[in-house]
Amino acid sequence: MPFNISLLWKAPGLNPYNKKARSIPILNPFDKHGRVFFFSWVGFFIAFWSWYAFPPLLSLTIKKDLHLSQKEVANSNIVALAATLLMRLLCGPLCDRYGPRLVFVGCLFAGAIPTALAGTIQNSTGLIVLRFFIGILGTSFVPCQVWTTGFFDKNVVGTANALTGGWGNAGGGVTYFVMPAIFDSLISNSGLTPHVAWRVAFIVPFILIASTGVGMLLFSEDTPTGRWADRALAIEQNLKSQNGYVVNAQGGVLDKPSSISSLSDNEKEKRKAAETEVETQAGEIVTIEEYQHETVQNPTFKEAMQVVLSPQTLTLAACYVCSFGAELAINSILGAYYLKNFSKLGQTGSGRWAAMFGLLNIIFRPAGGFIGDLIYKYTNGSLWAKKAWIHFVGITTGVFLIAIGMTNPHNLGKMIGLIAGMAFFLEAGNGANFALVPHVHPHANGIISGVTGASGNLGGIIFAIIFRYNGTHYSKVFWIIGIMTIAINLSVCWIRPIPKGQIGGR
Asked if residue 282 belongs to a domain, the reply is no
> Which residue from 322, 12, 334 is spatially nearest to 159, judged by alpha carbons?
12
In a domain, 252, yes or no: no
Q: What is the pLDDT of residues 461-495, one digit of tens each?
A: 899 889 988 888 999 999 999 999 999 999 999 99
Selection from 87, 79, 76, 144 nearest residue 110 by Cα? 87
What's the confidence (pLDDT) of residue 442?
83
Residue 253 lies in a domain: no
Collect all residues with Cβ–Cβ distance below 8 Å to 303 and sequence separation of at least 6.
252, 253, 254, 297, 444
Q: What is the pLDDT of residues 398-421, one digit of tens each?
A: 999 999 999 999 999 999 999 999
Bridge partners for 239 per DSSP: none
Closest CA relative to residue 162, chosen from 367, 451, 317? 367
- Based on its alpha-carbon atoms, the radius of gyration of the chain, rounded to whole angstroms, reads 23
Report whether pLDDT(280) > 60.
Answer: no
Q: What digits encode the pLDDT tens for the residues 187-208? A: 999 889 999 999 999 999 999 9
Q: What is the Cα–Cα distance from 98 to 17, expressed in whole angstroms?
A: 22
408: in domain: yes
Using alpha carbons, select from 280, 286, 218 the residue that is nearest to residue 439.
Answer: 286
Residue 275, pLDDT > 70, answer no
Does residue 271 form part of some domain? no
Pairing of strands 285-287, 277-279: antiparallel
Cα torsion angle, 476, 477, 480, 485, sign = negative
Q: Do residues 83 and 203 make contact, with C-beta atoms less than 8 angstroms apart?
A: no
pTM: 0.78
Question: Is the residue at 169 inside a domain?
Answer: yes
pLDDT for position 292: 56
pLDDT at 394 over 70: yes
User: The domain spanning residue 36 has which CATH number?
Assistant: 1.20.1250.20
Question: Does 441 fall in a domain?
Answer: yes
For the chain, helix (H) and strand (E) counts, in that order, are 22, 2
What is the helix (H) or strand (E) element at residue 314, kind and residue range? helix 311-341
- Least-confidence region, from 224-233, 361-370, 386-395: 224-233
Q: Is the pLDDT of residue 243 over 50?
A: yes
pLDDT of residue 227: 87
Burial class (CB in 10 A: 0-12, 13-18, 19+), 171: buried
pLDDT given for residue 246 in this prediction: 44
Give the span between the Cα atoms of 148 and 27, in whole angstroms.
Answer: 16
* pLDDT in the model for residue 343: 85
Average pLDDT over residues 331-341: 87
Which among 290, 286, 247 has a CA at the least distance from the CA of 270? 247
| pLDDT at site 263 | 43
Structural domains counted in the chain: 1
Amino acid identity at 4: N
Task: Supply the mean pLDDT for the chain.
Answer: 85
User: In the predicted model, what is the mean pLDDT of residues 282-295?
Assistant: 54
What's the rounded Cα separation, in Å, for the pair 152 and 289? 19
Q: Pick 288 or 425 by higher pLDDT.
A: 425
Mean pLDDT of 433-452: 88
Which residues share a beta bridge with 152? 21
User: Does residue 411 belong to any structural domain of this protein?
Assistant: yes
DSSP annotation of 497: S
Q: Which of 446, 442, 43, 453 is nearest to 220 (CA)?
A: 43
Distance CA 380, CA 390 (A): 18
DSSP-assigned letter for residue 498 = S
What's the confidence (pLDDT) of residue 261?
A: 41
Q: How far apart are CA 202 and CA 77, in angstroms?
A: 17
Q: At what angle do helices 311-341 and 383-407 cross, to 10 degrees?
A: 30
pLDDT of 499 strictly over 90 = no
pLDDT over 70 (residue 262): no
pLDDT (0 to 100) of residue 296: 64
How far apart are the C-alpha atoms of 228 and 230, rounded to whole Å?
5
Cα separation, 126 vs 103, whole angstroms: 27
pLDDT in tens, 116-170: 999 899 999 999 999 999 999 989 989 999 999 999 988 888 889 889 988 998 8
pLDDT at 282 over 70: no
User: 502 in helix, strand or coil?
Assistant: coil
Please give the pLDDT value at position 457: 86
Compute the average pLDDT of residues 103-123.
Answer: 94
pLDDT at 283 over 50: no
Alpha-carbon span 54 to 121, nearest angstrom: 12
Domain holding 308, by residue range, is 23-226+304-492
Q: Rounded distance, CA 228 to CA 250, Å? A: 14
Does the pLDDT value for residue 321 go beyond 90? yes
Q: How many residues does the chain have?
A: 506
